[in-house]
Amino acid sequence: MKVFGVTSPYTGSGKTTITLAMLSAMKNSTSAKIGPDYIDKDIHFAVNNNMPYNLDRWIQGNRYREIFFSSLRGFDYAVIEGVMGLYDSGSPIKLSTMYYFTKMKIPYILVVDAYKVAESGYYIARSFIGKLCIGVIINNYAGLRHLEMVSKPFVEHGIRIIGSIPHDDDFSLPERHLGISTDTSPDKIKSIAAKVAKHIELDFLDDLPEIYPDPDDAENPSFENSKNNIWVAKDSAFSFYYEDSMVALRKLGKVSFFSPLKNEEPIDADMIYLGGGYPELYIEELSRNHKTKNAIKNFAESGKIVLGECGGLMYMESEISKRNGKRPMLGIFEGLVEKNSKLTIGYTQMKVVNENPVFKINEIVRGHEFHYSSIKDAGKKCLRMEIGRGIDGMDGLTHLNSFGSYSHFSLFRYRKRIGRALDKIKK
């Protein structure tokens, strides 16, 4: 297995496009995304149909390395896409791309956006070229003369140029909510990746060292337990999931998927998981699909576990507001969801202050929030925000054994708690 990273001095330099191109060109390859981003990694999946994992010490805890290496089983190559700029973090603990590359000894390629610079590109980039840097990709150059000016200092200083990507509007991927639009078709993504890949030389792969994960780092992600029936909402409204959460659920039971947008219902379920997404874009469909709504509401009222995160929490509320009125949702909780013009985004840290089906009282739990909405709900909450916004300084709405939060979690980190809760309910 050969592993390398893709990073840049600052965000918007083309890391995702370069990562897609690499995945397109390398056979039997997989990828990972540093940080809590669940959009870019799904774009990776469109290129090679291998679901990437996130690499995030804040959310996953100290087992982030184990989770990452477990995802590499059976692949020849893996590329890790960094977050923001190489040294950016903005968090209370070390979470920059450079932290992970240094800690895990991952060699990396630096993507240099040359569109507004010439020879200065090298002098901007040189403080980002460390011992682990194996070369640069010059991205977005305007013409051959421009490329010569940008390239010259790199060549003179012995920096390997792995690829040179010209400016081309056909290479652009549409963006939405600080990431690539989830509406972009897989065929378009594949086409762009293949075109960009033609401008990259892959002979650098020959010089990369082989990585052999420790046996303790290589849990089998394909293992599936049949002890419980776990149903996960999966469609255009609910699509934001961490792959290690799926691994955790497979360790607890048989995982099946259903679509609230198609009015499907989970059958013989022991637990229902409603992940994040864009339910606000599908209010009418979700509101009128009564078969799904009744099935989930009755399941929750029976005392079984419904877990909802962000979009899932919004769906669990009583109503979602829109311009021409309000539309009824599941009604597991009694609140109203309203759209905000301002994005709430960032890591969260919470202290558990009330009983709930997942966490212990006084435990400190960590997650991530990302939403353009706010919720008015006076219901019982079990989490007090120490970092992040949540719902007016609290989070974790509870009703019987249902739990909903604005925060997204790594269920792998908390899988034993969920397993014990499932066992308790089934007794």
Annotated catalytic residues are 310
Count how many Cα atoms sit within 13 Å of the Cα of residue 151 in the half-sphere of its side chain. Answer: 19
Three-class SS of 130-179: CCCEEEEEEEEECCHHHHHHHHHHHHHCCCCEEEEEECCHHHCCCEECCE
Q: How many CB atoms lie within 10 A of CB 134?
A: 18
Helix (H) or strand (E) holding 375: strand 364-376
Q: What share of the chain is helix, strand, coil (3-state, %, to 5)?
A: 35, 30, 35
Are the CB atoms for 99 and 251 separated by under 8 Å? no
Sheet with 133-141, edge to edge strand ranges = 53-55, 29-34, 77-81, 2-7, 108-113, 133-141, 161-166
Copy the structure tokens of residue 427. Answer: 């007794």
**418: which 2 tokens?**
């969920």
Alpha helices, H only, 347-413? none
Measured over the CA atoms of residue 234, residue 383, residue 330 and residue 294, the dihedral's sign is positive
Provide CB contacts within 8 A for 60, sequence distance 6+: 54, 67, 244, 410, 412, 413
Angle between helices 243-252 and 415-426 (to 10 degrees): 30
Alpha helices in 261-338, H assignment, sequence order: 283-288, 290-301, 311-316
DSSP 198-238: TTB-GGGGGGSPP----GGG---TT----SSEEEEE-SSSE
Return the structure tokens found at 60: 């996953």
Q: At what angle do helices 186-197 and 40-48 cross, to 10 degrees?
A: 80
Question: 14-40 burial, b for 16+ CB within 10 Å, e for fewer?
Answer: bbbbbbbbbbbbbeebbbbbbbbbbbb
Identity of the residue numbered 29: S
